Amino acid sequence: MRVYLFAQAGLDDSRRVLEVGCGTGAVLADLPHHLTVHGLDLNLARLSQARSHTPAARLTCGDACCLPYPSAAFDITFCHYLLLWVSEPVRVLQEMKRVTRPGGSVLALAEPDYSARQDAPAALEPLGQMQNESLRRQGADISLGGRLADLFLRAGIKPIECGALAPAPFEPPAPEEQEMEWAVLQADLADSLSSAEFQTYRSLDAQAWRDGTRRLYVPTFFAWGRV
Ligand SMILES: C[S@@+](CC[C@H](N)C(=O)[O-])C[C@H]1O[C@@H](n2cnc3c(N)ncnc32)[C@H](O)[C@@H]1O
């Protein structure tokens, strides 16, 4: 989906691209080499990881609410799994619009709506609810994804294409991916679950994958607009 949206947004003919909230640079590192790539993040430690992932990128420590770039500086400005974490998403989108040249594109990618999460079997639903609570405590707006098109309109960006990713095939994640997800979950839920309760959920999950009854879908939205 990301490849498709970047192609629609005119990546091949672009020269300057900015990711707002680039974190450790996982998405920046995927961009083609003909581009001058900029990344901005509030978190200096993550930016220093981004430095090793994307040595050629121009990285800046700053706030998405007040982007330190002149107007119309970029052909494409995008964010990925950012807006749910900011207190003023419309202001961030307005800033993204300001720094994008007329005719350029603004993209918001990977914005989930955890409130519409679907879990099966039912015995695993409380785990999802606890995870949502934990995300709220960490400051996330867990339902932002479902309001993405409206946020674009409020920021004065006409959305051209908006939608949600289709559910992935219901296959167990790769073992290393599963390990990583459970490690994050355990850290997030350390205050809500004892280690024994946590292990019970983990066994239920493993059993459900073996039985073919496991379902997990978090609708995850994207929006693309032109300036
Ligand atoms: C969940 S991470 C996503 C990182 C990256 N986009 C990715 O998908 O791998 C969100 C990032 O947004 C950054 N962030 C949050 N609020 C911000 C703000 N107001 N200005 C700039 N960066 C911000 C965080 O420091 C974090 O690195």
pLDDT digits (tens, 9 = 90+) for 106-157: 999 999 999 999 999 999 999 999 999 999 999 999 999 999 999 999 999 9
pLDDT of residue 97: 98
Banded model confidence at residue 170, pLDDT cuts 50, 70, 90: confident
Q: Quick check: 211 pLDDT over 80?
A: yes
Cα-to-centroid distance, 206 and ligand 1 (Å):
31
- Determine the residue of 60, 79, 82 to mutate for testing ligand 1's pocket, defined as the one with the most ligand atoms within 8 A of the Cβ atom: 82
Distances (CA, A) of 121 to 86, 111, 174: 33, 25, 20
**Residue 177: pLDDT over 90:** no
Q: Give per-residue burial for 133-152: e unless 16+ CB within 10 Å, then b.
A: ebbeeeebbbebbbbbbebb
Contact 61, 42 (CB under 8 A): yes
Tell me the CA–centroid distance for residue 153 and ligand 1, in Å.
22
Which residues in 195-215 are b (16+ Cβ under 10 Å) and which e? eeebeebeeebeebbeeeebe
Q: State which ligand 1 atom lies nearest to the alpha carbon of 64.
A: 20
**161 in ligand 1 pocket by Cβ < 6 Å?**
no
User: Which ligand 1 atom lies nearest to the CA of residue 63?
Assistant: 20
Q: What is the pLDDT of residues 12-65, one digit of tens each?
A: 999 999 999 999 999 999 999 999 999 999 999 999 999 999 999 999 999 999
Per-residue pLDDT, 186: 87
Kindly list the distances between the CA atom of residue 95 and the CA atoms of 18, 19, 24, 106, 177, in Å, as whole numbers in the listed order: 12, 12, 22, 10, 35
Query: Ligand 1: does its nearest atom lie under 6 Å from the Cβ of 206?
Result: no
DSSP, res 138: T
Confidence of residue 174 (pLDDT cuts 50, 70, 90): confident
**Ligand 1 geometric centre to CA of 125 (Å):** 28
Mean pLDDT throughout 7-15?
A: 95
Is any ligand 1 atom within 6 A of the Cβ of residue 21? Answer: yes
Reply yes or no on whether the pLDDT at 169 is more than 80.
no
Q: Is the pTM of this model over 0.85?
A: yes
- Residue 168 clears pLDDT 80, i.e. is over it: no
Question: What does DSSP assign to residue 150?
Answer: H
Q: What's the 118 CA to ligand 1 centre distance in angstroms?
A: 26
| Domain residue ranges of the chain, discontinuous segments joined by + | 2-226
Residues 6 or more apart whose Cβ sits within 8 Å of residue 221: 108, 111, 112, 113, 145, 146, 148, 162, 163, 164, 165
Q: Whose CA is nearest to atom 10 of ligand 1?
A: 82
Pick the CATH number of 2-226 from 2.40.30.10, 3.20.20.70, 2.40.170.20, 3.40.50.150: 3.40.50.150
Q: Is 200 in the pocket of ligand 1 (CB under 6 A)?
A: no
Residue 178 DSSP one-character state = H
Structure tokens at 142: 């867990």
The finding on whether 41 has its CB within 6 A of some atom of ligand 1 is yes
Say yes or no to pLDDT of 184 above 90: no
pLDDT in tens, 70-93: 999 999 999 999 999 999 999 999
